[in-house]
Amino acid sequence: MNKKQVLTTLCIVAGSFVFAQEQDKTEKVTLLDEVTITDSRFELKRENSGKTVVKISAEELQQHADKTIAQIINTKSGIAIIGSNSQAGQPLTTSVRGGQNRQVLVLIDGVAVNDASQIENNFDLQLLALNQIEEIEILKGASSALYGNRASTAVINITLKKAKSGTVNASFSSFLGTNKSANDSNFAIEDFTNSVGVNGRTKNFNYLVNFSNTFTDGLSAVKATENSEANDSDRYSKINTNVKLGYDFSQHFQLNTLFSHDKYSTDYDGGFFFVDENNVSKNEQVRVSVSPKYSYNNGSVTVNAALTSVNREFQSDFPATFDAKTLSVDAFNKYAFSDKLYTVLGVNVVKNEMNNPSPFSPITADEANDQIVDPYASVTYLTDFGFNLNAGLRLNNHSAYGSHVVYNINPSYVFNLDETKTLKLLASYSTAYVTPSLYQLFVPGFGNANLEAQEDTTIEAGFDVSLNENLQLSAVYFNRNQDNFIDYVTTDFVTFAGEYQNINEDFKVQGVEVELSYKPTERLNLNANYTFTERQDAIIFRVPKQKVNAILGYQICKSTSTNVSYQFNSDRVSPFFEDDFTTNRTLESYSLVNLSLNHKVLHNKMTLFFSVNNLFDEDYEELYRFSTLGRNFKFGFQLNL
C-alpha cells in the first residue's frame, strides 16, 4: 500500500471519529460485562478469568456475514490463517502463536472435531458455513489439561445457532459478489452463497434445520507468470446441512442431538512446480453427536458423544483416497461448591482410524488406528480480595505412547481501582502432549512408525485493564517451547522421497499480543490488536513477525451501520521447492482495507449488506506463487421471519 492510500484510510477513520464525537459527545457508554466459558467450562465474568479469551459475538458475525469463518478468525490477535484470502479451495494453515494445525483443537457445540486422515489430524474450517454459527470463543495457550490432545496453542470453541422461541421461524440469506485477483478488470459475478433455515420451540421440544451452499469461480489457485496468459480459473463448491433436535424431559434432564453433513469440491493446480492443471479435490464429512445433560443442585453431568466419518479424494496424476472415522466421548461433572469454588471432573475417550485404499501399498484401519483414554480434573477458585486461580490435571493414556501427565496453573489478581476501573494481572504455566497423526505414522512413502510425541510448554504473563467503563486494554507476553517437533524431511532430492521425523533443533517461540476495545459513544466503537511473533534463531514459515488488525464501526442511524477494517502483515519467508528444497523466498509485507455497510428494513426483519474488500486492490501473496483476492464487491441480504 502506498503513502497516498494510507493517508486516505487514516482520513476516513479520523473523519468518522470526529463526526461521531460531535454527534454523541453527551452520551455515556459502557462496554458489556463479557462472560467467557471456554477457559473453565463455567460462565465467568471477564475479570474472573485468568486468560484473555477472544470472543466473537453473534453481533460481530452478523456484521461480517459476507466473510468466511477463517477470514474473521484471521483478524484476531496471535492468529494467522494462511490461505484464508486465497482461492476458496486453498488448504488452510491455522497458526496460533507460531504453531501448526495439529496444535489447534476445534470444538463444535462442546464436541471436539477432527479429521483423522489429515496430515496433522486437524479439522478443516472450510467445511463450516458462517450462517450456521452463533458465536465463537478462542482460548489461546496450552489447554491440554482441560481439553486433551491437540489443545496446545489454542482451542476454537464454535457454538452453532439454536432454535428461537416460537413454533416456526424461518431465515433466508443470499450473497453475490466478484471473485478476482488484484489488477484484474473482470468484475463478473462469480461468488454465490445462499442459505435457508427453519427452527422453532414447543413446550419441551426444539428443532433447527439449516441448508446452505457456496459456489465460486473466476480465480486460479496458482498465479500465472508475468507476461503470460492467465491461468484457467478453479471452481469451488460447498454444501452444508445441519439438523439439530432437542428435548427437555424435565427441568433437570435435557437431550440435544446434531446431524451435520458438510462437503466441498475444489479445483486445484500443481503445487511443487506451479503448473496450471485440472486437478480436483473432494472432502466430505458426516458428524452425528448426542449430548445428554443432567442438572442437580449446584452441578451438572454432561456427556458429549460424536461419531465423525470422513472421505477425501484427490483426482490428479497422483490420485489418492482417504477414509477416516473418529469416535469421541467426553463425560464430565461440573460442581460449584460455592460461588467461589468450581470443579470439573471428567473422562475423555477418543478412537481414530484411517483407510488409504491405494493400489500400491494400501493402509487399512486394522493398521492405522489409535485410542486415547484421559481422566482429567480442573478447579477454579475465586476470592473476595481479588486473587483467582485455575488449575488442571490430565492423565493422557495413548494406545501407542503410554501414559503422560499434562497440567496447567493459571493465577490472576484483580485490583479494583475504583467503581469503574479494574486492573487484572495474569500468568500461566501449561503443558501439552501432541501425538503424531495416523498419516504421519502409517502412510507409505511418508509415514514413520518410530516418531516420538511432541511435548509443548507455554508460559504467559500479562494484564487486562478496564477504564472509565468504555475502554479495555490487555497485553500478554507468551513463550512456547516444543520438544520432539515433527516435520517432513526430504531424503532424496531426485525422487523427492522423504518421511516425517522428529527434529532435534530447538523450537522456541515468543511474542506479545496487545488488544484494545474502545467505545467512546453509543454509535462509535474501535477494536484493534497487535501481535509480535518470533522464533528464536530460526524462521516460522509464512507467519508474519508483526501483524496489526483494526476495525472502526459507526452506527449511522438506528437501522444503518458501517465499518472500515485494516490489516497489516509484515514480511514473511516461504520455502520454494527447487532442486534441493532449501531455497527461501521473501513474501513482501502488505496492508488490506475493507469497507462494509449494513441497513435494516422491514421492521428489522431484513438486513441488506454491501462490502468492498481489499479497497486499494493490493497485490500480495499468502503462499509463494499462489493467487490472492484483489478488490472485490459483495452484496446480499438476510431475512428472518
Q: What are phi and psi of 457, to 5 degrees?
A: -130, 145
Residue among 233, 313, 320 nearest 276 (CA): 233
Which grid coordinates belong to 287?
458428524
Per-residue model confidence as pLDDT tens digits over 85-98 = 999 999 999 999 99
Q: Which whole number is the average pLDDT over 540-561?
A: 96
pTM for the predicted model, two decimal places: 0.93
Residue 243: predicted pLDDT:
98
Does residue 257 sit in helix, strand or coil? strand
What is the C-alpha separation between 336 and 349, in angstroms, rounded?
A: 25
With vertex at residue 182, the alpha carbon angle to CA 177 and CA 187, rounded to the nearest 5 degrees, is: 35
Helix (H, G, I), strand (E, B) or coil at 186: coil
pLDDT score of 445: 84
Q: Is the pLDDT of residue 1 over 80?
A: no
CB neighbourhood size of 205 (10 A): 12
Indicate the length of the chain as a whole number. Answer: 641
Condensed to tens digits (0 to 9), the pLDDT of residues 123-145 reads 999 999 999 999 999 999 989 99
Which of the pair, 453 or 580, is modelled with greater confidence? 453
> pLDDT band for position 104 (50/70/90)?
very high
Residue 358 has pLDDT above 80, yes or no: no
Q: In percent, how much of the chain has pLDDT > 90?
A: 80
Q: Which domains does the chain have, with CATH numbers?
A: 3-640 (2.40.170.20)
| Predicted local confidence at residue 28, as pLDDT | 40
Tens-digit pLDDT profile for residues 364-415: 999 999 999 999 999 999 999 999 999 999 999 999 999 999 999 999 999 9
Torsion of CA 111, 409, 451, 369, to 10 degrees: -20
Which pLDDT score is estimated for 20?
Answer: 40
Place of cell 508483526: 546
Say what the pLDDT of residue 272 is: 65
Using CA atoms in the order 96, 101, 102, 108, what is the torsion angle rounded to 10 degrees? 90
Spatial distance between the Cα atoms of 593 and 607, rounded to a whole number of angstroms: 23
Give residue for cell 449511522: 556
pLDDT at 605: 94
Phi, psi of 207 (to 5 degrees): -145, 155
Q: For residue 246, give the nearest of 281, 198, 278, 202 by alpha carbon.
A: 202
Enter the DSSP assignment of 32.
-
Residues 6+ apart with CB under 8 A from 378: 40, 41, 145, 146, 343, 344, 390, 391, 392, 393
pLDDT greater than 70 at residue 29: no
Of 36-45, 153-162, 570-579, give the lowest mean pLDDT range.
Answer: 36-45
In the predicted model, what is the mean pLDDT of residues 330-355?
A: 96
Segment 164-199, tens digit of pLDDT: 999 999 999 999 999 999 999 889 999 999 999 999
First to last CA, the chain: 43
pLDDT score for 14: 40
User: Cβ distance 9 to 595 under 8 Å?
Assistant: no
pLDDT at 307 over 90: yes
Q: Compute the average pLDDT of residues 244-270.
A: 96
Kindly give, in sequence order, each residue whose CB lies less than 8 Å from that of residue 228, ignoring residues fewer than 6 positions away: none
